[in-house]
Structure 1
């Protein structure tokens, strides 16, 4: 009878020596910034000038990202908006941008929520996978990959269903829906995993 204990110990040591990292790719600074802002919240203030210039759904529908792209735009007296004349609108204006001194993005801790909600489920799933590995039905790589994919799936589910705090009415009107962690799905689609040696 073959003694498989040394092989099992070696496999378990390999599992112990690596950790699974799940989230946005480290190489994407923009998505990392978005994830951190969503996780912890942030007050955004203008870098240049006195106002944040926030495009409305009208600007987005015209694929306009900057106020200078819209000819004939002006700021109506006493209003914190930039608009163009539009006779078909009730007030004769089409609002293209909203002006704000600052805007607060509330914390939506999807990373911490995913971990707290699922850590026991992941541990149970990992135990099942390790049992299969011990009896020779699965390799170390398969255990790590299946567990990593389960964690990614959990995080994507959190992003899809995270609803509070909701988007502001302005953000909802711009996006056309109220999914606080989803806009163009870049954050959602970016969630991935890799393995890193502990020592």
Structure 2
């Protein structure tokens, strides 16, 4: 008799499931910094200066997060595409490389994760819906979607950590101290989120 008592609950949860949508990715306002970083890596990008003729690319000597205007005594040595400061002994300490354009190669971490895992995710979802249909009192439509969202989020984070190719440029490796192309500050990993929304 208890199984029959659960039928209205199951019907309600099944109906609820059809009104829920799972969204996974990098959220924020359109044009946010993290969305720009994610898009540049997901699809590749060519970056050119918006103001002036040069991009300033920090060397390993530049303080982390510093902009060229933040460094006192910075100058461009004649016929060199760097910004440097004096080392006080007649030499230079390069702080920034100057470039007309920087190419970021495609390092897909969202689309590729989807392609590699979609069959497993669908199988998991089907199993959960069957459990819901069987009247498992611990399963709800929202819990199914949140659990799936959590799985997808973890898969994307694992993908970010596993990508090794295309490798960083030697300049980037020197500045970061590693050749993990999508990991530096951890902000991209922290920005991977999921949300369950009513539709």
TM-score class, shorter: 0.7 to 0.9
How far apart are residue 84 of structure 1 and its match?
1.7
Q: Is 2:39 the partner of 1:36? A: yes
Question: 2-side partners of 1:7 and 1:132: how far apart?
Answer: 13
How far apart are residue 71 of structure 1 and its match?
2.7
Unaligned runs of 5+ in 2: none
| Corresponding residue of 2:145 | 144
Question: 1-side partners of 2:147 and 2:71: how far apart?
Answer: 50
SS in 2 for 1:148: helix
| Corresponding residue of 1:17 | 19
Q: Is 2:28 the partner of 1:26? A: yes
Count of residues paired in the alignment:
194
Displacement over 3 Å in runs of 4+: 3-10
Q: Is the 8 A contact 1:22 1:193 kept in 2?
A: yes
| Corresponding residue of 1:132 | 131
SS in 1 for 2:27: coil
Unaligned runs of 5+ in 1: none
How far apart are residue 7 of structure 1 and its match?
4.5
How far apart are residue 100 of structure 1 and its match?
0.3
Structure-2-length-normalised TM-score: 0.88
Structure-1-length-normalised TM-score: 0.88
| Corresponding residue of 1:48 | 51
SS in 2 for 1:57: coil
CA RMSD of aligned residues (A): 2.1
